[in-house]
Each structure stands twice: as C-alpha cells, then as structure tokens.
Structure 1
C-alpha cells in the first residue's frame, strides 16, 4: 500500500501528481491569551503595527498624488455621522418666503428690527451653592447688560411679571443638582418662547487650561453654527437675541454656539491676527454644553403651558443619524 501511494505521486504514468498541501498559520486572537499582562502587551503591539501600516499607506498615497499632479483623483470624503445625516423636512432655506414671513412676525422680530435693546436677568434655583454662583457671575461677564439675582424661595411665576415691568427682555435660570449646575431655562420676554436645556460639562475659568486674561466689557461677536432646521433656527434666534446688535471688534471677543448632533457647545474666546492667514485664539471661559429638552410657547408655565416641542428619547432617538436642530 505504501508503494502504490508513493508511485502515484511520482508521476511515472500511473496518474497526475498530487497537489502540494499549503500550510497556513493557525488563526490567532489576542483575546485567547490567558495572562492579562501578556494580553495587554500583545494588544499594544498590534495597535502599534496598525498605526505603522496606516501611516505607510498614507505616505504612499501622498507620493502617488504628488507624482500625478493635476491628474490625481479627488480625495475621498470620510463617512461621518454628520454627512450621513437623515434629511429633515423642516430644514430651513434662507430664500424661502414662508421662513422670511415667520422671521418678520415671530417673538424675536422686535429685536432683529432694532426696536428693543437686550436686557438680561440671570437667576438661579432656590438657594444656590458656590459653584453655581460663580458660574452665574462669569456668565454675566459674557452677556452684556445682564444682571444676576439670587432667588430665595421666590417662584418663577412671580419673577416674570417683575422682569417685564422692569423692561427685561430675557430671563435665564440656572438650575443645580448636588451643587453642580445641570439645567438652563431661557425665557424670552414678554411673550416667550421658553426653552429648557440640560446642562453638562460646565468648566469655570480657573478650570480651563491655558486660559486668557479676564474678558473686557466690550460687546462680543456671536457665532451660531449648524442650526439648520425650523426648531434649530428658533433656538439660534433665541441665543442671538441675548446680545446687542453691534459688536465692538476692538475687544476681539467672540461667543460661539456650535450645534453638533443636537448638542450645543458654548465657547468664549479672544482672538488675534498673527498674519494674513494665521489667527491665534485664547479661551476665556466659562464653557458648557446644552441639550434641548423642550420648547414652550409663552413664558414659563410648567403646569398649563403649551409645548411646541418635547424631546422623547424612546420615540425620537431611534437612529443615530437623525437630528432635530
């Protein structure tokens, strides 16, 4: 039997030669390593190898593009959650006549028509603690013509008529939980609307690394990014109505409300032009992040108020690529 098997494989006329067996290395997974330290070490080596291969591929592609010159194909656009966003039917078109009519007749029209001057009252939840107090004081240095008032058992429904009588145009309420600011209520006076935000990632000036000097009293510029839907447009107009129309560019200060995936990031910077193409910026603080929870018609009324929009997680957050602002 052994002779027949060896004869068949020698190609002496008994048949075609048998193909050689190709031995592949056994599949190996880092997770199969039992020793924790060894597993962690091998994982780091694997990540390092991945980075080297990625850099080598990047250099190769760059050399190919330089060699092709103008004939090089356009760079591939990476897929992100933002550029794969599900289209919203309420996306605002600046040239839409209906949008222009709404802007001319909504509650913020007197501000944008320069009929009113912003005057802001900043208050807190009942008996605020130190961190919330410092945050309100720093927020008042960002928003011009704002005044801080600390509540002591006074209901918001009693505060709002007093604000209207004293010509305040907006009311900001900072709520706290366990001595940490965790909510913001913004009510536009005298007819609303009122927005309720969840607040997170609050950083005071002393907690920001490489921060600039204290902000000056100059009126800052305002930047509103990515408020594209009808709801986002209304929220953007609410933030814009907090600041005077004409910024003082000599102060080189800018307040930014950047919307990304329905999270509103607030930053306050001072900038300087180093050259015609380079700009240096310093963050002044404070910084925080907002998440819209509800938008209510009229002024604050938690019991009988009519809500235009309420965030319902189980119904609205079914897709990671669907955003509302």
Structure 2
C-alpha cells in the first residue's frame, strides 16, 4: 500500500513540466534592490550626518585621486608606445563657458580708438591737464564715511576734501568748475556705512553712479602697510567692452599719468562679471640669505650662503567693490538728465 501511495504521489510528465515552469517564474522575479543610502541632508542626527558626510567626502576624494592616477598612467603608457597622448581635461568654469560678448572691443577697432581723441577724458589722459579731484559727502555723513574719505585722499593724488554742509550738489559742481577741478567724487553713506559712490567728470560730464559694498578699511586689514605720497601705478583689468572701455577711461582720468615707480605703489581696478574690485598695494623687496649645500665630493657637503632678493605685495587699503548702476550724459541731473546706460535689475 505504501508503494502504491508513493507512485500516486509522483507527478506525471505534464505536472512536472508545470512545476518546473512555476519554479522558473519564481526565479525570474526581479530581485529587490537594496535601498540607496540616505543623503546627509536626510539624516536628522547631527553626529550620524557628519559621519556620513565625511565618509562621502573621503570616497569622492579617493575616486578623484584614482581617476587622476589612471589618466597619468595612460598618458605615460601612450608616450612610451609613441602614441598620441590624450588631451588634458579642462575644468568647466563660469568664465570658459560664458557666451562671447558682441560688445567686446577689438584691438583693430579704429573707430573706437579714434573716438578717444574726442572724448571728455582726452585732456587728462594726454597730460594736457593735471587731474584734480574734489571729494565730498552726502548731507548726513557719519560712521565710516570720514575714515573712508581720509583713505581715499591718500589713494588719489591731488584730491581735496570739501565739506558738503547743506549745499545742493549742483552748487558743489559749480564750485568745482570755478576752481578748475577735473572730477567730483561724492561718497554716500547709509546707516553709518558708505554704500554708493558718484563720480562726476568736469566740466561736461559724464556722471557715473556706483554701488559700493564690502568696504574694509586699512585698520581692519591684517599686516597692512602705510602708503607713501608717491604717485601710484594704475592697473585696469578686463575693461574690454565698449561700456567698460568708457568707464575705465573715466577711472583712469582720476589719477596722474606719470607714476613714480620708485614709490612702489600700485592701485588696481579689476573688472569681473560686472563688478569692479579695488585693491591698493605696495611692492616690498626683501633680501634674504639662502643656504646651498654643495654636491661636490671634494667640498664634502659644505654649505654656502647666497643672497636672494624676493618681491611681495603688501596691502595698504582700503578694499571695496563697485557695481555700475547708471552712466549719465553731462553732470549730475536727476530731472532732465539723459542716461547712456542704466543697470536693469
């Protein structure tokens, strides 16, 4: 009886095939993937979050190091075999991915450079007239304003401060014209901090209105130097567009065109992404002795000293950032003034 039961229990050929098919389906079921590890921002526990973030950072750094090693080995292998070395990868930055600007001045643009001889800054830049700058403030000046003006007067030669008082700005411009000033600079303060700069070229304009930010005075700069009274060297970077060319010439007209290089002073206006960064440095030459161990067997490792002259920059301050808001034809006129350019927010 037991043998008969076993025979009955054994499946037939069709049943065995069905059972095998069922097993195959069971095996073909998609295996559940392991859930991705949570991001550090999804972890509430601070210690665990820091631990996961540090681990991810280590892994990323190790992967970057490994890829660099592989690239180096591939280049070395190609050089040994006489094959073409793979090109070096260039990092993707904002500067090299920027679309080309149509307003960039070309070196062979004769029309632009011919117009320089007829613009408002030509007399100063050709040293026919000596630049003379009048610096004043808004009507309510306090806080960092006086200290900033004091340092500006040390940066710009032939600068003179005139107290604004209750006078209207048009009266100040008329006063400056009568005394043969070439430019007027107005420092505007808000909440006891300078926040705007107005530069008026005389006698016929134009007028540039800048937003002033990130001001750092000399006393707040670590290891700062004290400037001398020599005329500084002026460096203008990236004023390449038509508007930048005009603003650059306006800034250039504030300074004398015959710098005293013996004073080792340099004033830099660096234009980048429509922001103008101002820095004031001084060259410092230091003479140091360097010990050199001779490799000759006869000298038996004797050391010799050689004098070397090293050059470094020492910041004199102030340090600030400008952003052009408006450029107006003529002198300052808010009612009937015609604007060359207005920043669109």
Fold conserved between structures, TM > 0.5? yes
Secondary structure at 1:168 match in 2: coil
Match of 2:244 in 1: 232
1:271 aligns with 2:303: no
Number of residue pairs the alignment of both structures matches:
308
Separation in 2, partners of 1:252, 1:60: 47
TM-score, normalization: structure 2?
A: 0.80
Q: Root-mean-square deviation (CA), in Å?
A: 2.9
| Cα offsets for 1:135-181 (capped at 9, x unmatched) | 00001101111112231111110011110111111111010110010
Match of 1:312 in 2: 344
Question: Structure 1 residues 136, 67: CA separation in 2 closer, same or farther (over 3 Å shift)?
Answer: farther
Separation in 2, partners of 1:278, 1:9: 83
1:244 to 239, 246, 256: 256
The answer to whether the Cα contact below 8 Å between 2:270 and 2:278 also exists between their aligned partners in 1 is yes
1:154 to 167, 186, 190: 167
1:215 to 205, 222, 227: 227
Match of 2:38 in 1: 29
1:79 Cα deviation from its structure 2 partner: 2.3
| Cα offsets for 1:268-299 (capped at 9, x unmatched) | 11123569997411111001000100000111
Separation in 2, partners of 1:145, 1:68: 63
Secondary structure at 1:197 match in 2: strand
Separation in 2, partners of 1:76, 1:251: 43
1:46 aligns with 2:56: yes
The answer to whether the Cα contact below 8 Å between 1:271 and 1:281 also exists between their aligned partners in 2 is yes
The answer to whether the Cα contact below 8 Å between 2:143 and 2:193 also exists between their aligned partners in 1 is no
Q: State which structure, 1 or 2, has the greater radius of gyration over its C-alpha atoms.
A: 2
1:87 aligns with 2:125: no
More moved, 87-96 vs 172-181? 87-96
1:96 aligns with 2:105: no
Stretches of structure 1 that go unaligned for 5 or more consecutive residues are: 314-325
Separation in 1, partners of 2:112, 2:226: 39
Match of 2:274 in 1: 262
1:72 Cα deviation from its structure 2 partner: 3.4
Question: Structure 1 residues 42, 128: CA separation in 2 closer, same or farther (over 3 Å shift)?
Answer: same
Secondary structure at 2:144 match in 1: helix
TM-score, normalization: structure 1?
A: 0.85
1:46 Cα deviation from its structure 2 partner: 1.6
More moved, 90-99 vs 273-282? 273-282
Stretches of structure 2 that go unaligned for 5 or more consecutive residues are: 1-10, 288-307
The answer to whether the Cα contact below 8 Å between 1:127 and 1:153 also exists between their aligned partners in 2 is no
1:97 Cα deviation from its structure 2 partner: 1.4
